[in-house]
Amino acid sequence: MTASPPAPQEPLTPGRGTRLDPWYASYAERTHGMKASEIRALFSVANRPEVVSLAGGMPYLAGLPMEIVAEVTDRLLRERGAVALQYGSGQGDVALREQITTVMAEEGITSHPDDVVVTTGSQQALDLVTRIFVDPGDVVVAEAPSYVGALGVFRAYQADVVHVEMDDDGLVPEALEATLTRLAAEGRRVKLLYTVPNFHNPGGTTLSLERRPQVVEIARRHGVLVLEDNPYGLLGFDDLTENPVMPALHSYNPQGVVYLGSFSKTFAPGYRVGWALAPHAVRERLVLASESAILCPSNMSQLSIATYLSTCDWRGQVKSYREVYRERRDATLHALAEHMPHATWTRPAGGFYTWVTLPEGLDAQAMLPRAVTELVAYVPGTAFYADGTGHRYMRLSYCYPTPERIHEGVRRLANVVNAELDLVRMFGTGGAGTRLAGTLNPGPNQA
Amino acid sequence: MTTTHTDLDVLVLAGGLSHERDVSIRSGRRVADALRSAGMTAHVHDVDGDLLASLRQARPDVVWPILHGSTGEDGSVRDVLDLVGVPYVGTDAAGSRLSWSKPVAKTLLARAGASTPRFTTLPQTLFRELGTRGVLERVLDVLGLPLVVKPASSGSALGVTVVRDAAALPQAMVACFAYGEEALIEQYVDGVEVAVSVVDLGDGPRALPSVEIATDGAYDYDARYNPGRSEYFVPGRLDEAQERAAADLAVLAHRTLGLRHLSRTDMIVDGDGVAWLLDINVAPGMTETSLFPLAAEASPYGVEELYAAIVRRAAGR
C-alpha cells in the first residue's frame, strides 16, 4: 500500500488551528535556523539535463573504470562477504587505516594507523570534532569564505563562526593573528581554526608554502586547535616534479592539528569514507563519539576501498582525475575571460572550484532565479559566509560538466550577469539585501 | 465509505523547468499517492522530451497536470494535451492563461464586481524607456504605502516583497524582475489571509471550507513549506457573512475565468468583511503543507475521495 494522502497530524477542528507539525514546540533550539529554502528549491531545476550546473561539487565519476570497481566489489563479496556485511570496529578497519597512512604520506604526513579514525565521509569527522570540542557560544575561526558543509555543522552545534580574510595565497596570517588577539581580549573561547589549505572550497586558492608554518604557529601560540580539511590535496594541476604536493599543516605540528581526509574526490563519494588523523587523546574521544553516533563506519565501503587501494592503480586514477579537472579548469578560465569582462575570479591550481567576484552592486543570490530561467546554475557566495554576507560572489564548479558545457554555461551566465547589471544600474540599487528566504543550505549535491 | 476506482489510469504531470519545480514534484507525488489509495493507477511523469512518447505508449485515461509556474500554469502544456487528445484534470488552456496573469485575472474579476487591491503592472522594458525615478514616484503617490511587489505571473511567494518604506521599492523591483519581465505592484490590504478552494464535480462550482493562514511575519516561501511556521484554521475564523463573502469570491473567480474541476483563490478578508482578491490558481499546490488538501480534508469528501471524484469527472465517467 502506498503512503497516506496529505493529512494534518492533528484533526481539523473548527476554531482550532493546526501547524501541521504537532512537535513544533518540541524542537531543540539548535534546529531553529533550519528552514525551507527557496535556493534549495531552485537547485531542483539544476538537476535537469537542460541546465548547465556550475553549482554541484560532484566528482566526474564517468572517469572511473566501473568494470574494475565492479570486479573489486564482486571479489570482496565472494571472498570476504561475511566480514564486509558485518559490524566492524568503531575506529575503522585496521587494514584500511594502514593504507590511509600511505595515502597521507603522499602529502608529507608521517602517521600511525592507531591515530586514524575512519568516518562516514570526512563530513562526519567534521561533525565529531565539533561535537567533542564546541559548546554553544564557543568561537570557530574560519576562512572568509568557508566550506558550506562545515558552516552547517558549526551552526548545528551553536558555534559562533568568525571569518578571517583570505587572499590569493590563502589565509592571511596577519589577519588571523589580529582576529585571535581581538577575540582573546574580548574573553571569547576560540576552540577551532577550521581551514581548507589546498584548492579551497569555495575560494579555489591554496595556502602558500611560506604561510603554512606561520598559520600553525599562530594557532599554537593562541592555544587553538587547527582543523585541517584536505579533500582535494592530491588533485593539483601542476607538474608534480616542478611543484611537489604542499606539506600538510599537520606535518608542522601533529599535536596541534586534526587532519581530515577523504576518498570522495580521489575515488568516489558514494562509499562515504573519510578519516580523521588526530593526537592520541583526541582520537580516543573521536572514537567514542563516533561509536555513539553510528556504532561503526560501513565495513562494506571500507573493505571495498581497501581492496581497491591494494589491487588497483589508484595513483594512476588520481592522475587521470587531475588531467580531467585541469582541462575543465582551463575551459572555465578561458570562458570567463571571453565572456565576463566585468568580473574577476581566482585561478585554482587544483580542486573543483573558482570563486567569482561580480561587479559592484550585483547580488548573486538575488540573481539566481534569472540564472535558472536561463538554464545555468551556480552557488551564491552567501552560502559560504556564516553571517550571510558575500552577496557579490559566486562559486563556479567545473568538476562535472564537459568543457563544451562549461563554455556554454559561462556564456549563459554572462547574459544573466549583464541583464542583472543593467537592471541594478537602472534602479540604482546596491545589492544590499536579498529577497530569498531561508538558511542557505544548498544540499549534498551542491556542497 | 471508500469506493474503489481500479478502472482509471492517471498520469500525474509534475516537475518541469519552472522555479517551482520542487513544489510541483512534491505536489505530484502526494496526489499520485492519494489516487492510489483510492484504488486508481497513478504514475508521476516529468515534463520532458519523453512525455509525448509516454502518453502515446501508456495511453492514460486522464492526465493531471500539477505543474506550478510558467508552462504548467500559463496554458501551454494544456494546449499540448488538447493536441494529443487526452482528457486532463483542470482548466483548459484559455482559462489557464487568464488566471496565470495576475493583472488580467484581477481586471476581469474587478469588472465582474469583485474587490481587488488597486494595482499597476509595469514591465521591465517600460522602465528602460521612461526611467525609474519618475515612474516609481508616481506609483508611490497614487498607490501609497505599504505596497506589495510581485511578479505578474508566479507562485509560492517567489519574488514577492512587502514594501513599507519608499526607499525599499527599487530593491523590491529588482528582486521581482529576477523572476519575470513584468511586475505587479498593488496596495497592501490589512486583514486575514484566506484561501478558498473550489471544486466542480458536474453540478456547478462549489466552495470548500475556507483555510485561514496565520503566520508570524510574511507568508513567504519558508512559511509556506516549513511545517510549523504557519498555523492554519479550517474553516477560517470568519463570521458567517465573511465566510460567505470569501466563498462567493472564489466561486465568482472560478465562473468568470471559465475554470474547470478545481481552483484555489487567495484573498484577504478585511475588518469590514470585504474579501479582496489576490490571486487565482488553476494548479494549486498539493504538498503536505498546501491549502487545497487542507480544505479537501475538511470537506465532506476527504482528500482521496475528492481527488478520485475530480479524476472521474475529468474522464467523463
Please check whether residue B285 touches A, CB under 8 A: no
> So what's the pLDDT on residue A432?
46
pLDDT-derived band at A44 (thresholds 50, 70, 90) equals: confident
Nearest-by-Cβ selection for B19 from A8, A21, A372 = A372
Beta strands at B192-199 and B262-269: parallel, antiparallel or unpaired: antiparallel
> So what's the pLDDT on residue A11?
57
> So what's the pLDDT on residue A446?
61
Residue A439 has pLDDT above 50, yes or no: no
Mean pLDDT of A280-285: 96
What are the start-end ranges of the H helices in A255-363? Answer: 280-294, 299-311, 314-339
> So what's the pLDDT on residue B139?
96
> So what's the pLDDT on residue A55?
93
> So what's the pLDDT on residue A443?
62
pTM score of the predicted model = 0.90
Mean pLDDT of A79-87: 96
Distance (Å) from the alpha carbon of A438 to chain B's nearest alpha carbon:
6
Distance (Å) from the alpha carbon of B134 to chain A's nearest alpha carbon:
11
* Count of all residues that appear for chain A in the document: 447
> So what's the pLDDT on residue A32?
74
Q: Which of A9, A51, A429, A436 is the best residue to mutate to test the B interface, defined by the most B CB atoms within 10 Å of its own CB?
A: A429
Which residue from B minimizes the CA distance to A13? B234
Please check whether residue A35 touches B, CB under 8 A: yes
Given a cut of 70, the residues of chain B with pLDDT beneath it are 1-6, 70
Distance (Å) from the alpha carbon of A425 to chain B's nearest alpha carbon:
10
Among residues of chain B, what percentage have pLDDT more than 90?
80
pLDDT-derived band at A441 (thresholds 50, 70, 90) equals: low
Check CB contact under 8 Å for B293 and A6.
yes
Is the pLDDT higher at A324 or at B227?
Answer: A324
Phi–psi pair at B262, nearest 5 degrees: -155, 150
Residue A435 has pLDDT above 50, yes or no: no
Check CB contact under 8 Å for B222 and A16.
no
Say how many CB pairs under 8 Å bridge A and B. 150
Residue B21 and residue B47: Cα distance in Å, rounded? 10
* Residues paired with residue B215 on neighbouring β-strands, in sequence order: B230
Residue A122 and residue A274: Cα distance in Å, rounded? 4
| Closest residue by Cα to residue A234 from A191, A205, A274, A263 | A263
**Which helix or strand (DSSP H or E) is residue A139 part of?**
strand A139-144
Residues of A in contact with B33 (CB under 8 A): 2-5
| Closest residue by Cα to residue A41 from B151, B20, B180 | B20
Check CB contact under 8 Å for B222 and A35.
yes
CA angle B240, A20, B229 (to 5 degrees): 95
pLDDT in tens, A118-140: 999 999 999 999 999 999 999 99
CB B235 within 8 A of CB A14: yes
CB count in 10 Å sphere of residue A60: 17
Residue B152 and residue B142: Cα distance in Å, rounded? 19
Is the pLDDT higher at B94 or at A445?
Answer: B94
Distance (Å) from the alpha carbon of B22 to chain A's nearest alpha carbon:
5
Check CB contact under 8 Å for A38 and B287.
no
Distance (Å) from the alpha carbon of A362 to chain B's nearest alpha carbon:
10
Residue B314 and residue B14: Cα distance in Å, rounded? 18
pLDDT-derived band at A242 (thresholds 50, 70, 90) equals: low
Lowest mean pLDDT among A44-48, A64-68, A282-286, B248-252: A44-48
Residue B163 and residue B183: Cα distance in Å, rounded? 14
Residues of A in contact with B37 (CB under 8 A): 1-2, 4-5
Is the interface score ipTM higher than 0.90?
no
> So what's the pLDDT on residue A197?
98
Helix (H, G, I), strand (E, B) or coil at A189: coil
Mean pLDDT of A52-63: 91
Please check whether residue B25 touches A, CB under 8 A: yes
Residue A171 has pLDDT above 80, yes or no: yes
Dihedral, CA of residue A60, residue A111, residue A216 and residue A131, to nearest 10: 70
Residues of B in contact with A5 (CB under 8 A): 30, 33-34, 37, 293, 303-304, 307
> So what's the pLDDT on residue A6?
41
pLDDT-derived band at A1 (thresholds 50, 70, 90) equals: very low
Residue A353 has pLDDT above 60, yes or no: yes
CB count in 10 Å sphere of residue B225: 27
| Closest residue by Cα to residue B66 from B36, B102, B90 | B90
Please check whether residue A48 touches B, CB under 8 A: yes
| Closest residue by Cα to residue A80 from A292, A254, A299, A279 | A299
Residue A38 has pLDDT above 80, yes or no: no
Please give the DSSP secondary-structure letter assigned to residue A350. Answer: B
3-state helix, strand, coil in chain B (%, to 5): 40, 20, 40
